[in-house]
Structure 1
């Protein structure tokens, strides 16, 4: 894994070949142009991994990538194939010290949710080293995330075009609000304003937050004296970028991609779904033991349960999920990520003993793509995170949706509209749900006639989500735009 470290107050000495210079005398033939693209994702693995997947697809076409993050995060990313390691340079920017952050905390996965604002404050202090890096390397484009809303101003000063690369669907981004002066401004002020579709959506839609979701996100919508809000970060990012790139495709959400162009008055390009497939050579003892258990189950009978790298069920939620799995009568494989120490959630007394052999509770990382690819999996109980949904539909797995935070509620509404997944019933005011609702939802989607629509839709979308030829075409179109609109750099 090739990398170099940039220290906040140091000048950067970069090998001449680390940046791509386009000379005026070079032929203007897009086919022969090789770009240098810098990427700067937010410090969450749910963001860094999609950025890295796109980086690998771009590098696979001969273009150079500078992937920028903090040292510990880069060291935790999956290794690259040797062919790609020559084209992807990992740039390590040490995270500025913050007295409110525990030692070694460089990603959201390292922190409880209430400490993530401190990580954003530390991340904002990377503005100077990012500016130094861009000035030294002069990339053709900078792809950046929602959090560094200050990036466009820096890049514009240096003459570097920028693209906001959204790892969430266009539907969720559109809900945030318009920046085009031709569209009436967002006047939402109260929590109740967010539980209905926005006024700038001109077609019938159910995409909105539920009341308990608004309350959970409200501080991130409004901000406070210690930090700007996530909504502000998103809107300044959308306002300042030259291009909006979205992890999506026109076949899945055409009307929302079109609306995103309208409300921001700038180009919007889907880059494809960035589907993942299991690697045949990626075998280890952990997977072999999981596969052995899955092999013993009947086809389409296993309930797979996972809530991503960061979403954690509360004690009450974990209890109802556990009892619901037990009541469903189906075999289950549950990847249970919980807090450590005294706050760690506990399963109901005797649960694991009663379900020994029928169910597995895995408290460590598990190879999700390999599990979803296994024929025994019949339904996926998920938090509605886009990456997890993409992985599920790549293998035609129907979904029961239990959104927990961030964009997940908006995703769940849209997936429900599309019959991609069934959203588990819960109380609108506090988000609570019962074990009976868990069991009934799982049985309905996996076994009953009324759930056939979800099973059929998952199978219908499988060819789209697993279409690598189509994915390749999306990346080609994206790169063609970047080549045509790159800044002219001279020595």
Structure 2
């Protein structure tokens, strides 16, 4: 409830238009709105449509934010997969569209003008626009603090000759920021896109520009917590870790937090039928795609493991097309395998039947898995996922790598072997449980992430 005589604070939030960016920022904004602060959440028109389509009527009634949209500058028929066309269009059109939107909102809501803009660091350069309009600037990083620290180090790394103008590592060496942060190998940087230097250069320039703007932001919010990445946090000015941003109400549909796909909840009745700690959960997030040969190896590995499995298979997982399963595979695994197009992941990972998480190691999946105490089988696809794998396997010791062979494939033998190693390794399970306890401590009332969030809310209100 607003204090009499004071204007109600009004937050405008802008994510990068991709699933892994929209969801954590929506989770954060729902928490902000629950404290009596007005929140306007801005998606592109295409993403706005996907979010609304995935919501039930009940979800829409429970929604506590104003959800609005702006054009992304692309024709309706264009592909919106993260890539050069989308990035160039966002860069070209978003500053003007946001300026017009903010001016319109402020004109129509003179008593509740926008007081703060929270921008995803990927598009952090938009804060140059919002500062000119009198709103306070806040950066949100949906991934690891280590990635945020690396972005802020870009000017220094260019001057030292570690990076060229494409963001490529210029020397055959590791980039090391701190003793307690895993070093980055070639092609493991957040903006790395091997084989597509043109797109990588645009992504790199976006991060470099965002990093310069971020240095002037009031806060740098991050979906992590102090104990998980204290060394990285020490490298970031005005750093405020407020994660992990996992849902606190397990009864609510996760679509209300910005899912782009309808979730198949039939997996829960199936999970209830499986023994405790028995199910291999397989999901590669919203972007990863694989060749058919690789998907055959995975399918046969799951079959040969003899274990129950829940596999999320998007309709475009086979390099943009539907997956073709090995002959007779669906029939042979019918009694112990469940395949869905999209799953309510947090609730799945929290289920007692889950034994491990075969994951692409996106940061959202990483913090969701460690928050539930689930060990990982790591299969990174691109970008920061390789560095997250290094955290999981080398620092936190809660998972194992799935290594490609000389043909670049994860063989059925490799997958089967690592499943057995992971599930028989008691120390990994113990480490996973300890991390889960650490998360619960941090997000509780007296935990550091909880207190940091309270501090942020107090600042917005005062």
TM-score between both structures, scaled by the size of structure 2: 0.82
1-side partners of 2:88 and 2:62: how far apart? 33
Match of 2:194 among 196, 218, 223: 218
Asked if the contact 1:197–1:206 (Cα under 8 Å) also holds between the matched residues in 2, the reply is: no
**How far, CA to CA, are the matches of 1:159 and 1:378 in structure 2?**
50
User: 1:324 and 1:337 mapped to 2: Cα distance?
Assistant: 19
Q: Is it true that 1:361 corresponds to 2:339 in the alignment?
A: yes
Matches within 5 A, 1:325-364: 325-339=302-316, 343-362=321-340, 364=341
- Of 236, 246, 254, 1:275 maps to 246
For residues 391-410 of structure 1, give each alpha carbon's deviation from its aligned partner in whole angstroms, at most 9, with x where no partner exists.
22222111111101121111
Once superposed, what is the RMSD of the aligned Cα atoms? 3.4
Q: Report the Cα distance in structure 2 between the residues aligned to 1:375 and 1:326, rounded to whole angstroms.
A: 22
Seen in structure 2, the aligned counterparts of structure 1 residues 474 and 84 have a Cα distance that, compared at 3 Å, is farther
- Sort the Cα spacing of 1:182 and 1:217 in 2 relative to 1 into closer, same or farther, 3 A: closer
CA spacing shift, 1:185–1:143, aligned 2, 3 Å: farther
**CA separation of 1:195/1:403 partners in 2, compared to 1, >3 Å: closer, same or farther?**
farther
C-alpha distance in structure 2 between counterparts of 1:194 and 1:162, whole Å? 36
Partner of 1:160: 135
Say which of 398, 405, 409 aligns to 2:375.
398
Q: Aligned partners of 2:249 and 2:157: how far apart in 1?
A: 46
For residue 206 of structure 2, the aligned residue among 233, 241, 247 is 233
Helix, strand or coil for the counterpart of 2:298?
A: helix
What is the CA–CA distance in structure 2 between the aligned matches of 1:340 and 1:458, rounded to whole Å?
Answer: 29
228, 250, 254: which one aligns with 1:252: 228
Inter-partner Cα distance in structure 1 for 2:270 and 2:62:
35
1:419 matched to 2:390? The reply is no
**Aligned to 2:20, which of 10, 30, 46?**
46
Task: Give the Å deviation of 1:421.
Answer: 2.1
**SS of equivalent residue, structure 1 residue 223:** helix
Partner of 1:5: none
- 1:183 Cα deviation from its structure 2 partner: 10
- Compute the displacement of 1:135 (Å): 3.0
Distance 1:395 1:343, change over 3 A: closer
Alignment: residue pair count? 432
Taking a change above 3 Å as real, the CA distance of residues 84 and 480 of structure 1, as seen in their structure-2 partners, is farther
1:119 corresponds in structure 2 to: 86
Structure 1 residue 56 corresponds to structure 2 residue 30: yes
SS at match of 1:218: coil
Aligned-partner Cα distance in 2 for 1:203–1:415 = 16
Structure 1 unaligned residues grouped into runs of 5+: 1-19, 27-31, 485-491
Among candidates 42, 54, 65, match of residue 88 of structure 1: 65
Alpha-carbon displacement from aligned partner over 1:84-132 (angstroms, at most 9, x marks no partner): 64x521222133244xx625x5x53xxxx6xx32122222212212012
2:44 is the counterpart of 1:73: no
Distance 1:393 1:339 in 2: 27
Report if the CA contact (8 A) 1:213-1:405 is conserved: no
1:210 to partner: Cα distance: 5.5
- Distance in 2 of aligned mates of 1:160 and 1:334: 44
5+ residue gaps, structure 2, are 107-112, 256-261
Match of 2:422 among 445, 465, 469: 445
1:465 aligns with 2:433: no
